[in-house]
């Protein structure tokens, strides 16, 4: 009995962590280029609703995932246009992207509230009751494995490829990168849209697997936790993954505490992941003494003086 509960907890941890991790990984790529995008919450919503709508109308999972990724990516290009090309304030633009994404997705999804999905992203190996850790891992769906691949791929991309080095150069010192002949605007624009696509994937995972239905504001702050995860992970993919597992564990553990015999108000229990996030952030900042690993140019628009 206890084993089944434990495996259930592990399973829920992996599911919650997958969503947070994919969004955080996308934001990490964006921020590496020196662009801060606070619109994660909005981009996840857009990906979630467009993916859900496609799934309802076509019943094609692959198409739904693709539509979710692309629409969130196109949506994030609005942020890229305003901050990269037009050099406007990244904080303002990102916040508005969140508000716009939440309200736009609510408008689009209005007719889809309460509808049942004809299809769902299935787990790769269908195991009814996982009995050990290996079976829990095998019981996850394709997006979980994709996220592991993306983690390894992104780490490789950032450290070993030209694109990664360019990204880092632009994010650390865009003026120097520019004088080296790199196209700063193009790099930042691409990085922002890639980050949007990742958020879109997280959104699709939310509506097609994690909670297979659609309601307004169903992202419930996960985009903001993803932003905190990037700081937590010190802008490194593997550390971000560890952070995602930790936060996923909290999200999975909290509703289960009562079944383990803890007498707690369910309303107060719901706020603990947010409170713990804040405490971890503070602890981490103190521990690192201000050297958080943030790209030096983050939030500063690149502006080439006319010569």
Partner 1 sequence: MNKYLLSKKLIINELSTFYSFLIGLSIGITIGSIILLTQGQNPIEVFSLMLKLSIGSVKSISSSLNKATPLILAGLGISIINSVKLWNIGAEGQIFMGGIALNFIYISSEISNPNLMIIFLLSSSFIGGAVCILFPAIAKVLFGVNEIITTLLFNYIVIGLTVYLVNGPWKDPGSLNFPAAAYVSKEVYLPTVFGRLSYGFVICILCTLGVHYLKEKSVFGYELRIAGGSALTAIYAGINAKQKAFVAMLIGGGLAGLAGGVELLSQTHRVSTGLSQGFGYTAIIVAAITGMRPFGIFLVGSLFGALTIGGSVIQTMGVSSYISDVIQATTLFGALIAQFFFTYKIIRVSEDV
Site residues (CB under 8 A) for partner 1? Answer: 38, 78, 82, 86-89, 91-93, 95-96, 99-100, 102-104, 106-107, 110, 216, 220-221, 224-225, 227-228, 231, 265, 267-268, 270-271, 274-275, 277-278, 281-282, 285-286, 290, 303-307
Least distance in angstroms from the C-beta of 214 to partner 1:
14
The phi and psi torsions of 160 (rounded to 5 degrees) equal -110, -15
Least distance in angstroms from the C-beta of 231 to partner 1:
7
Which residues have C-beta within 8 Å of that of residue 97, sequence separation ≥ 6?
A: 37, 38, 39, 42, 43, 75, 76, 78, 79
Task: Please identify, using beta-carbon distances, which residue of 61 and 231 lies nearer to partner 1.
Answer: 231
Contact (Cβ atoms closer than 8 angstroms) between residue 27 and residue 195: yes
Least distance in angstroms from the C-beta of 256 to partner 1:
18
Gap between the Cα atoms of 99 and 171, Å rounded: 26
Least distance in angstroms from the C-beta of 266 to partner 1:
9
Least distance in angstroms from the C-beta of 77 to partner 1:
12
Gap between the Cα atoms of 205 and 77, Å rounded: 21
Gap between the Cα atoms of 82 and 297, Å rounded: 17
Task: Please identify, using beta-carbon distances, which residue of 183 and 259 lies nearer to partner 1.
Answer: 183
Q: Supply the angle between the helices 184-205 and 162-172 in degrees, to the nearest 10.
A: 110
Least distance in angstroms from the C-beta of 123 to partner 1:
30
Task: Please identify, using beta-carbon distances, which residue of 33 and 45 lies nearer to partner 1.
Answer: 45
Sign (positive/negative) of CA torsion 197, 199, 200, 206? Answer: positive
Gap between the Cα atoms of 231 and 228, Å rounded: 5
User: Which one, of 63, 120, 105, 104, lies nearest residue 215 by Cα?
Assistant: 105
Task: Please identify, using beta-carbon distances, which residue of 100 and 257 lies nearer to partner 1.
Answer: 100
Task: Please identify, using beta-carbon distances, which residue of 161 and 220 lies nearer to partner 1.
Answer: 220
Task: Please identify, using beta-carbon distances, which residue of 130 and 273 lies nearer to partner 1.
Answer: 273
């Amino acid at each position: 009995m206890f084993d089944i509960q434990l495996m259930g907890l592990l399973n829920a941890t992996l599911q919650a962590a997958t969503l947070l991790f994919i969004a955080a990984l996308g934001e990490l790529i964006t921020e590496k280029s020196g662009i801060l995008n606070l619109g994660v919450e909005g981009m996840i919503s857009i990906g979630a609703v467009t993916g859900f709508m496609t799934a309802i109308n076509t019943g094609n999972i692959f198409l739904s995932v693709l539509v979710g990724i692309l629409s969130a990516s196109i949506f994030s290009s609005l942020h890229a246009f305003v901050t990269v090309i037009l050099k406007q304030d990244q904080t303002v633009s990102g916040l508005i992207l969140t508000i716009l994404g939440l309200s736009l997705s609510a408008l689009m999804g209005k007719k889809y509230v309460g509808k049942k999905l004809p299809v769902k992203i299935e787990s790769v190996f269908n195991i009814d009751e996982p009995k050990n850790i290996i079976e829990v891992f095998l019981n996850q769906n394709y997006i979980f494995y994709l996220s592991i691949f993306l983690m390894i791929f992104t780490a490789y991309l950032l450290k070993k490829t030209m694109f990664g080095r360019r990204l880092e150069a632009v994010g650390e010192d865009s003026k120097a990168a520019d004088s080296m002949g790199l196209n700063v605007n193009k790099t930042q624009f691409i990085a922002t849209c890639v980050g949007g696509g990742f958020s879109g994937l997280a959104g699709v995972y939310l509506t097609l697997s994690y909670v297979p239905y659609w309601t307004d504001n169903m992202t419930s702050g996960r985009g903001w936790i993803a932003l905190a995860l990037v700081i937590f992970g010190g802008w490194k993919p593997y550390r971000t993954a560890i952070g995602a597992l930790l936060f996923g564990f909290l999200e999975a553990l909290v509703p289960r505490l009562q079944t383990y015999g803890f007498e707690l108000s369910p309303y107060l229990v719901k706020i603990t992941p947010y409170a713990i996030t804040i405490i971890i952030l503070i602890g981490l900042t103190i521990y690192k003494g201000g050297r958080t690993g943030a790209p030096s140019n983050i939030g500063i628009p690149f502006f080439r003086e006319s010569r």
